[in-house]
Structure 1
Amino acid sequence: MRSEATKTLSRVAAQSVHVVTNPAPRNLAESKLVLAALQKFGEVVTFRNLKYAPGKRHRNVDRSTLAIFESADSASRAIEASPLVIPLDNKLNPRMKPHTQTQTQTQTQTQTSSARLTCDVYRSTFDHEDNMPRNPYHSSYRVLENSYQYNDLMQNTNIPLRELADSMMGRKTRMRIRYRQRIAAENERLGANSLVKFYREGLEDADGNLDSGSN
Protein backbone atom coordinates (compact mmCIF):
# COMPACT_ATOMS: atom_id res chain seq x y z
CA MET A 1 0.00 0.00 0.00
CA ARG A 2 2.85 2.36 0.88
CA SER A 3 4.71 1.64 -2.36
CA GLU A 4 1.54 2.34 -4.36
CA ALA A 5 1.13 5.68 -2.58
CA THR A 6 4.78 6.52 -3.28
CA LYS A 7 4.30 5.76 -6.97
CA THR A 8 1.22 7.98 -7.06
CA LEU A 9 3.06 10.88 -5.40
CA SER A 10 5.97 10.50 -7.82
CA ARG A 11 3.59 10.51 -10.77
CA VAL A 12 1.74 13.61 -9.53
CA ALA A 13 5.04 15.38 -8.86
CA ALA A 14 6.13 14.75 -12.45
CA GLN A 15 2.86 16.23 -13.69
CA SER A 16 3.08 19.34 -11.48
CA VAL A 17 4.50 22.76 -12.31
CA HIS A 18 5.02 25.94 -10.30
CA VAL A 19 3.92 29.05 -12.18
CA VAL A 20 5.06 32.54 -11.17
CA THR A 21 3.10 35.25 -13.00
CA ASN A 22 4.40 38.80 -13.30
CA PRO A 23 2.57 41.03 -12.69
CA ALA A 24 0.16 39.09 -10.49
CA PRO A 25 -3.27 38.44 -12.06
CA ARG A 26 -5.68 41.08 -10.78
CA ASN A 27 -8.91 39.23 -11.41
CA LEU A 28 -10.45 35.94 -12.49
CA ALA A 29 -10.32 36.90 -16.17
CA GLU A 30 -6.53 37.25 -16.06
CA SER A 31 -6.18 33.98 -14.14
CA LYS A 32 -8.22 32.30 -16.89
CA LEU A 33 -5.74 33.62 -19.45
CA VAL A 34 -2.91 31.94 -17.53
CA LEU A 35 -4.86 28.68 -17.42
CA ALA A 36 -5.60 28.89 -21.15
CA ALA A 37 -1.90 29.42 -21.90
CA LEU A 38 -0.99 26.31 -19.90
CA GLN A 39 -3.71 24.23 -21.55
CA LYS A 40 -1.99 24.68 -24.90
CA PHE A 41 0.48 22.07 -23.66
CA GLY A 42 -2.15 19.60 -22.43
CA GLU A 43 -5.13 19.14 -20.14
CA VAL A 44 -4.73 20.88 -16.76
CA VAL A 45 -6.54 18.89 -14.06
CA THR A 46 -5.62 21.17 -11.12
CA PHE A 47 -5.07 24.93 -11.16
CA ARG A 48 -4.61 26.33 -7.67
CA ASN A 49 -3.50 29.72 -6.42
CA LEU A 50 -0.96 29.03 -3.67
CA LYS A 51 -2.20 32.10 -1.85
CA TYR A 52 -5.03 29.89 -0.62
CA ALA A 53 -2.94 26.79 0.07
CA PRO A 54 -2.98 25.87 3.78
CA GLY A 55 0.13 25.13 5.75
CA LYS A 56 3.56 26.22 4.62
CA ARG A 57 3.91 29.59 2.95
CA HIS A 58 5.45 29.86 -0.49
CA ARG A 59 7.66 32.48 -2.09
CA ASN A 60 5.91 35.03 -4.30
CA VAL A 61 2.65 33.68 -2.92
CA ASP A 62 0.48 36.35 -4.56
CA ARG A 63 1.90 35.45 -7.97
CA SER A 64 2.32 31.69 -7.60
CA THR A 65 0.08 28.94 -8.92
CA LEU A 66 0.23 25.17 -8.71
CA ALA A 67 -0.81 23.51 -11.96
CA ILE A 68 -1.08 19.74 -12.41
CA PHE A 69 -1.25 18.41 -15.95
CA GLU A 70 -2.89 15.19 -17.02
CA SER A 71 0.49 13.92 -18.22
CA ALA A 72 4.13 14.45 -17.27
CA ASP A 73 4.95 15.13 -20.93
CA SER A 74 2.66 18.17 -20.93
CA ALA A 75 4.35 19.50 -17.79
CA SER A 76 7.80 19.08 -19.35
CA ARG A 77 6.79 20.91 -22.53
CA ALA A 78 5.36 23.80 -20.52
CA ILE A 79 8.62 24.11 -18.58
CA GLU A 80 10.67 24.00 -21.79
CA ALA A 81 8.54 26.78 -23.31
CA SER A 82 8.97 29.05 -20.26
CA PRO A 83 8.62 31.99 -19.99
CA LEU A 84 5.12 32.26 -21.41
CA VAL A 85 4.09 35.74 -22.54
CA ILE A 86 0.34 36.38 -22.47
CA PRO A 87 -0.95 39.57 -24.15
CA LEU A 88 -3.85 41.32 -22.45
CA ASP A 89 -6.86 42.73 -24.25
CA ASN A 90 -6.59 46.52 -24.02
CA LYS A 91 -10.37 46.88 -23.94
CA LEU A 92 -10.66 44.71 -20.85
CA ASN A 93 -7.34 45.52 -19.25
CA PRO A 94 -7.60 47.96 -16.31
CA ARG A 95 -3.80 48.35 -16.37
CA MET A 96 -4.03 50.27 -19.65
CA LYS A 97 -5.14 53.89 -19.61
CA PRO A 98 -6.12 55.87 -22.73
CA HIS A 99 -3.17 57.56 -24.42
CA THR A 100 -3.03 61.35 -24.38
CA GLN A 101 -1.09 63.67 -26.62
CA THR A 102 1.07 64.80 -23.72
CA GLN A 103 2.03 61.28 -22.71
CA THR A 104 5.79 60.75 -22.65
CA GLN A 105 7.63 57.92 -24.37
CA THR A 106 8.55 56.43 -20.97
CA GLN A 107 4.91 56.27 -19.92
CA THR A 108 4.02 54.60 -23.21
CA GLN A 109 6.68 51.93 -22.73
CA THR A 110 5.53 51.29 -19.16
CA GLN A 111 1.93 50.80 -20.22
CA THR A 112 2.98 48.55 -23.10
CA SER A 113 4.95 46.28 -20.76
CA SER A 114 2.03 46.09 -18.34
CA ALA A 115 -0.29 44.99 -21.17
CA ARG A 116 0.95 41.44 -20.85
CA LEU A 117 1.53 38.72 -18.28
CA THR A 118 4.80 36.83 -18.11
CA CYS A 119 4.65 33.32 -16.64
CA ASP A 120 7.80 31.56 -15.50
CA VAL A 121 7.13 27.83 -15.29
CA TYR A 122 9.27 25.63 -13.04
CA ARG A 123 9.21 22.07 -11.81
CA SER A 124 6.98 22.08 -8.73
CA THR A 125 8.30 21.23 -5.26
CA PHE A 126 4.82 21.33 -3.71
CA ASP A 127 4.53 18.84 -0.83
CA HIS A 128 1.45 16.86 -1.88
CA GLU A 129 1.85 14.34 0.94
CA ASP A 130 1.88 17.10 3.56
CA ASN A 131 -1.07 18.88 1.95
CA MET A 132 -3.26 15.80 1.47
CA PRO A 133 -4.34 15.36 5.14
CA ARG A 134 -5.49 19.00 5.15
CA ASN A 135 -8.24 18.14 2.71
CA PRO A 136 -11.50 17.98 4.72
CA TYR A 137 -12.48 14.82 2.84
CA HIS A 138 -9.21 13.02 3.57
CA SER A 139 -9.69 9.81 5.55
CA SER A 140 -12.89 9.60 7.63
CA TYR A 141 -15.22 12.54 8.22
CA ARG A 142 -18.65 13.27 9.61
CA VAL A 143 -21.41 14.26 7.22
CA LEU A 144 -22.59 17.82 7.85
CA GLU A 145 -26.31 17.16 8.25
CA ASN A 146 -27.35 20.62 9.47
CA SER A 147 -26.48 22.52 6.29
CA TYR A 148 -29.07 23.96 3.91
CA GLN A 149 -27.43 22.18 0.99
CA TYR A 150 -27.65 18.78 2.68
CA ASN A 151 -31.31 19.17 3.64
CA ASP A 152 -32.26 20.48 0.22
CA LEU A 153 -30.59 17.57 -1.59
CA MET A 154 -32.04 14.97 0.77
CA GLN A 155 -35.58 16.35 0.54
CA ASN A 156 -35.79 17.29 -3.12
CA THR A 157 -33.66 14.74 -4.95
CA ASN A 158 -33.38 10.99 -5.19
CA ILE A 159 -29.79 11.01 -4.02
CA PRO A 160 -28.82 7.38 -3.27
CA LEU A 161 -26.39 8.01 -0.38
CA ARG A 162 -26.50 10.72 2.26
CA GLU A 163 -22.73 11.09 2.00
CA LEU A 164 -23.20 12.42 -1.54
CA ALA A 165 -25.28 15.28 -0.14
CA ASP A 166 -22.46 16.49 2.09
CA SER A 167 -21.17 20.00 1.58
CA MET A 168 -17.77 21.60 2.06
CA MET A 169 -19.31 24.83 3.31
CA GLY A 170 -18.60 23.98 6.94
CA ARG A 171 -15.56 22.68 8.75
CA LYS A 172 -15.34 18.96 9.24
CA THR A 173 -15.37 17.95 12.89
CA ARG A 174 -12.39 15.93 14.03
CA MET A 175 -12.91 12.27 14.80
CA ARG A 176 -11.09 10.34 17.48
CA ILE A 177 -8.13 8.41 16.19
CA ARG A 178 -9.47 5.06 17.41
CA TYR A 179 -12.72 5.59 15.55
CA ARG A 180 -10.86 6.54 12.38
CA GLN A 181 -8.63 3.48 12.71
CA ARG A 182 -11.68 1.21 13.02
CA ILE A 183 -13.19 2.75 9.89
CA ALA A 184 -9.90 2.41 8.01
CA ALA A 185 -9.61 -1.26 9.00
CA GLU A 186 -13.19 -1.94 7.88
CA ASN A 187 -12.59 -0.13 4.59
CA GLU A 188 -9.45 -2.16 3.97
CA ARG A 189 -11.33 -5.39 4.69
CA LEU A 190 -13.98 -4.39 2.16
CA GLY A 191 -11.40 -3.19 -0.34
CA ALA A 192 -12.76 0.35 -0.16
CA ASN A 193 -9.55 2.30 0.32
CA SER A 194 -9.28 3.73 -3.17
CA LEU A 195 -11.99 5.31 -5.32
CA VAL A 196 -9.60 5.23 -8.27
CA LYS A 197 -9.18 1.48 -7.77
CA PHE A 198 -12.96 1.06 -7.75
CA TYR A 199 -13.17 3.11 -10.93
CA ARG A 200 -10.55 1.03 -12.71
CA GLU A 201 -12.15 -2.23 -11.60
CA GLY A 202 -15.48 -0.94 -12.93
CA LEU A 203 -13.89 -0.18 -16.30
CA GLU A 204 -12.35 -3.64 -16.41
CA ASP A 205 -15.69 -5.26 -15.58
CA ALA A 206 -17.41 -3.20 -18.26
CA ASP A 207 -14.78 -4.16 -20.84
CA GLY A 208 -15.12 -7.80 -19.84
CA ASN A 209 -18.89 -7.70 -20.25
CA LEU A 210 -18.53 -6.13 -23.69
CA ASP A 211 -16.04 -8.80 -24.76
CA SER A 212 -18.25 -11.64 -23.53
CA GLY A 213 -21.27 -10.08 -25.22
CA SER A 214 -19.49 -9.78 -28.55
CA ASN A 215 -18.50 -13.44 -28.38
Structure 2
Amino acid sequence: MSALLKRQLLRGLLLAACLPGVVMAASIQVLNYSSREVNYIAVENPGNTNSGGGGDSIDPYGQGGTICCFSVPEKWHAELNVVVAYQFYPDPTLHRETVSIPPYPNGKAGDIWLIVYEDGSVGAVVSHYGPSLPEWPGKIKGYPVATKEYRTQRRKAKIELEKKWLDTMEKGLARNSNKMTVTEIDELKDVIEYKKKLIQSLEGMHP
Protein backbone atom coordinates (compact mmCIF):
# COMPACT_ATOMS: atom_id res chain seq x y z
CA MET A 1 0.00 0.00 0.00
CA SER A 2 1.42 3.40 -1.01
CA ALA A 3 2.08 6.17 1.51
CA LEU A 4 -0.54 8.37 -0.18
CA LEU A 5 -3.16 5.65 0.01
CA LYS A 6 -2.33 5.07 3.67
CA ARG A 7 -2.79 8.78 4.44
CA GLN A 8 -6.11 8.85 2.61
CA LEU A 9 -7.26 5.77 4.49
CA LEU A 10 -6.18 7.28 7.82
CA ARG A 11 -8.04 10.50 7.06
CA GLY A 12 -11.15 8.52 6.19
CA LEU A 13 -10.89 6.58 9.44
CA LEU A 14 -10.52 9.80 11.44
CA LEU A 15 -13.57 11.29 9.79
CA ALA A 16 -15.53 8.13 10.34
CA ALA A 17 -14.56 8.09 14.02
CA CYS A 18 -15.59 11.71 14.50
CA LEU A 19 -18.70 11.67 12.35
CA PRO A 20 -20.29 8.22 12.41
CA GLY A 21 -23.29 7.36 10.28
CA VAL A 22 -24.83 9.54 7.62
CA VAL A 23 -23.33 13.02 7.43
CA MET A 24 -24.58 16.26 5.92
CA ALA A 25 -22.98 19.51 4.83
CA ALA A 26 -23.63 22.24 7.40
CA SER A 27 -23.08 25.95 6.99
CA ILE A 28 -20.80 27.60 9.56
CA GLN A 29 -21.94 30.61 11.54
CA VAL A 30 -20.26 32.52 14.38
CA LEU A 31 -21.54 34.42 17.42
CA ASN A 32 -19.24 36.64 19.47
CA TYR A 33 -20.68 37.45 22.90
CA SER A 34 -17.40 39.01 24.04
CA SER A 35 -15.85 42.48 23.95
CA ARG A 36 -12.81 41.07 22.14
CA GLU A 37 -12.26 41.22 18.39
CA VAL A 38 -11.95 37.75 16.86
CA ASN A 39 -9.33 37.81 14.13
CA TYR A 40 -9.89 34.18 13.06
CA ILE A 41 -12.26 31.39 14.01
CA ALA A 42 -12.83 28.02 12.34
CA VAL A 43 -13.99 24.49 13.13
CA GLU A 44 -12.08 21.23 12.65
CA ASN A 45 -12.55 17.54 13.29
CA PRO A 46 -10.52 16.33 16.29
CA GLY A 47 -7.11 15.10 15.19
CA ASN A 48 -7.46 16.42 11.65
CA THR A 49 -6.49 20.05 11.13
CA ASN A 50 -7.00 19.66 7.37
CA SER A 51 -10.74 19.08 7.80
CA GLY A 52 -11.55 22.63 8.90
CA GLY A 53 -14.05 25.17 7.71
CA GLY A 54 -14.64 28.83 8.52
CA GLY A 55 -11.90 31.38 9.11
CA ASP A 56 -14.14 34.38 9.69
CA SER A 57 -13.18 37.53 11.60
CA ILE A 58 -15.81 38.92 13.97
CA ASP A 59 -16.27 42.29 15.65
CA PRO A 60 -16.96 42.46 19.40
CA TYR A 61 -20.57 41.49 20.11
CA GLY A 62 -20.92 40.64 16.43
CA GLN A 63 -22.18 37.86 14.22
CA GLY A 64 -20.33 36.35 11.29
CA GLY A 65 -21.71 35.63 7.89
CA THR A 66 -22.67 32.16 6.71
CA ILE A 67 -19.72 30.13 5.39
CA CYS A 68 -19.92 26.78 3.63
CA CYS A 69 -19.29 24.05 4.70
CA PHE A 70 -18.52 21.50 7.45
CA SER A 71 -19.73 17.90 7.74
CA VAL A 72 -21.89 16.97 10.70
CA PRO A 73 -23.74 13.71 11.41
CA GLU A 74 -27.46 13.76 10.71
CA LYS A 75 -28.00 12.13 14.10
CA TRP A 76 -26.43 13.43 17.29
CA HIS A 77 -24.35 11.08 19.48
CA ALA A 78 -22.81 11.54 22.90
CA GLU A 79 -19.19 11.52 21.70
CA LEU A 80 -19.70 14.27 19.13
CA ASN A 81 -16.85 16.74 19.55
CA VAL A 82 -15.28 19.37 17.32
CA VAL A 83 -12.21 21.57 17.61
CA VAL A 84 -12.70 25.33 17.56
CA ALA A 85 -9.56 27.11 16.28
CA TYR A 86 -9.51 30.81 17.11
CA GLN A 87 -7.34 33.88 17.44
CA PHE A 88 -8.06 37.16 19.22
CA TYR A 89 -6.81 40.43 17.75
CA PRO A 90 -4.04 41.58 18.16
CA ASP A 91 -2.62 38.44 19.83
CA PRO A 92 -1.11 36.21 17.08
CA THR A 93 -1.57 33.04 19.16
CA LEU A 94 -3.82 30.47 17.49
CA HIS A 95 -5.78 28.48 20.08
CA ARG A 96 -7.44 25.13 19.52
CA GLU A 97 -10.09 23.93 21.96
CA THR A 98 -12.03 20.67 21.78
CA VAL A 99 -15.68 21.22 22.66
CA SER A 100 -18.69 18.92 22.96
CA ILE A 101 -21.73 19.41 20.76
CA PRO A 102 -24.95 19.35 22.82
CA PRO A 103 -27.96 17.33 21.60
CA TYR A 104 -29.58 18.67 18.46
CA PRO A 105 -32.85 20.50 19.22
CA ASN A 106 -35.76 18.25 18.28
CA GLY A 107 -33.16 15.74 17.02
CA LYS A 108 -32.72 17.74 13.83
CA ALA A 109 -29.28 18.68 12.46
CA GLY A 110 -28.65 22.15 11.07
CA ASP A 111 -25.94 24.78 10.80
CA ILE A 112 -22.89 24.55 13.05
CA TRP A 113 -22.57 27.68 15.21
CA LEU A 114 -19.21 28.62 16.71
CA ILE A 115 -19.59 30.68 19.87
CA VAL A 116 -17.21 33.00 21.71
CA TYR A 117 -18.18 33.82 25.29
CA GLU A 118 -17.37 36.93 27.32
CA ASP A 119 -14.69 35.13 29.34
CA GLY A 120 -12.83 34.17 26.14
CA SER A 121 -13.91 30.53 26.13
CA VAL A 122 -15.52 29.00 23.06
CA GLY A 123 -18.22 26.49 22.26
CA ALA A 124 -20.22 25.07 19.38
CA VAL A 125 -23.76 23.88 18.72
CA VAL A 126 -25.49 22.31 15.76
CA SER A 127 -28.93 23.77 15.34
CA HIS A 128 -31.60 24.25 12.71
CA TYR A 129 -32.89 27.11 14.87
CA GLY A 130 -31.32 30.52 15.41
CA PRO A 131 -30.40 32.06 18.80
CA SER A 132 -33.62 34.07 19.05
CA LEU A 133 -35.86 30.97 19.03
CA PRO A 134 -36.81 28.96 22.13
CA GLU A 135 -35.39 25.75 20.63
CA TRP A 136 -31.88 27.25 20.50
CA PRO A 137 -29.53 24.88 22.42
CA GLY A 138 -26.82 27.44 23.23
CA LYS A 139 -26.00 28.54 26.78
CA ILE A 140 -26.89 32.14 25.94
CA LYS A 141 -30.26 32.88 24.37
CA GLY A 142 -30.50 35.58 21.73
CA TYR A 143 -27.99 37.27 19.46
CA PRO A 144 -25.01 39.18 20.89
CA VAL A 145 -25.82 42.61 22.33
CA ALA A 146 -23.10 45.10 23.25
CA THR A 147 -22.88 46.00 26.93
CA LYS A 148 -23.44 49.55 28.18
CA GLU A 149 -19.74 49.79 29.09
CA TYR A 150 -18.68 48.77 25.59
CA ARG A 151 -21.09 51.22 23.92
CA THR A 152 -19.78 54.01 26.17
CA GLN A 153 -16.19 53.14 25.29
CA ARG A 154 -16.96 53.13 21.56
CA ARG A 155 -18.79 56.45 21.77
CA LYS A 156 -15.88 58.11 23.62
CA ALA A 157 -13.43 56.78 21.03
CA LYS A 158 -15.63 58.14 18.23
CA ILE A 159 -15.83 61.57 19.89
CA GLU A 160 -12.07 61.67 20.37
CA LEU A 161 -11.48 60.79 16.71
CA GLU A 162 -13.97 63.40 15.46
CA LYS A 163 -12.39 66.09 17.67
CA LYS A 164 -8.98 65.32 16.19
CA TRP A 165 -10.40 65.70 12.67
CA LEU A 166 -12.10 68.95 13.68
CA ASP A 167 -8.89 70.35 15.15
CA THR A 168 -6.94 69.41 12.02
CA MET A 169 -9.48 71.08 9.72
CA GLU A 170 -9.72 74.26 11.81
CA LYS A 171 -5.92 74.63 11.90
CA GLY A 172 -5.75 73.90 8.18
CA LEU A 173 -8.33 76.60 7.45
CA ALA A 174 -6.48 79.17 9.57
CA ARG A 175 -3.14 78.29 8.00
CA ASN A 176 -4.16 77.96 4.36
CA SER A 177 -7.18 80.23 3.86
CA ASN A 178 -5.09 82.71 1.88
CA LYS A 179 -4.22 79.92 -0.57
CA MET A 180 -7.80 78.68 -1.00
CA THR A 181 -10.61 79.80 -3.24
CA VAL A 182 -13.82 81.17 -1.78
CA THR A 183 -15.60 77.96 -2.77
CA GLU A 184 -12.97 75.78 -1.06
CA ILE A 185 -13.18 77.89 2.10
CA ASP A 186 -16.98 77.65 2.17
CA GLU A 187 -16.89 73.89 1.61
CA LEU A 188 -14.37 73.39 4.42
CA LYS A 189 -16.41 75.60 6.75
CA ASP A 190 -19.47 73.47 6.00
CA VAL A 191 -17.55 70.30 6.91
CA ILE A 192 -16.28 71.94 10.11
CA GLU A 193 -19.82 72.90 11.12
CA TYR A 194 -20.98 69.36 10.36
CA LYS A 195 -18.22 67.92 12.57
CA LYS A 196 -19.17 70.27 15.42
CA LYS A 197 -22.81 69.19 15.25
CA LEU A 198 -21.80 65.53 15.06
CA ILE A 199 -19.60 65.85 18.16
CA GLN A 200 -22.38 67.70 19.99
CA SER A 201 -24.81 64.93 19.07
CA LEU A 202 -22.43 62.17 20.18
CA GLU A 203 -21.76 63.91 23.50
CA GLY A 204 -25.47 64.16 24.13
CA MET A 205 -26.19 60.51 23.42
CA HIS A 206 -26.96 58.03 26.16
CA PRO A 207 -25.05 54.73 25.94
Larger radius of gyration: 2
The structure with the greater share of residues assigned to helix is 1
TM-score (norm 1): 0.22
- For normalisation by structure 2, the TM-score amounts to 0.23
Question: Of Structure 1 and Structure 2, which has the larger fraction of its residues in strand?
Answer: 2
Asked which structure has the greater RCO (Cα within 8 Å, sep 6+), the reply is 1
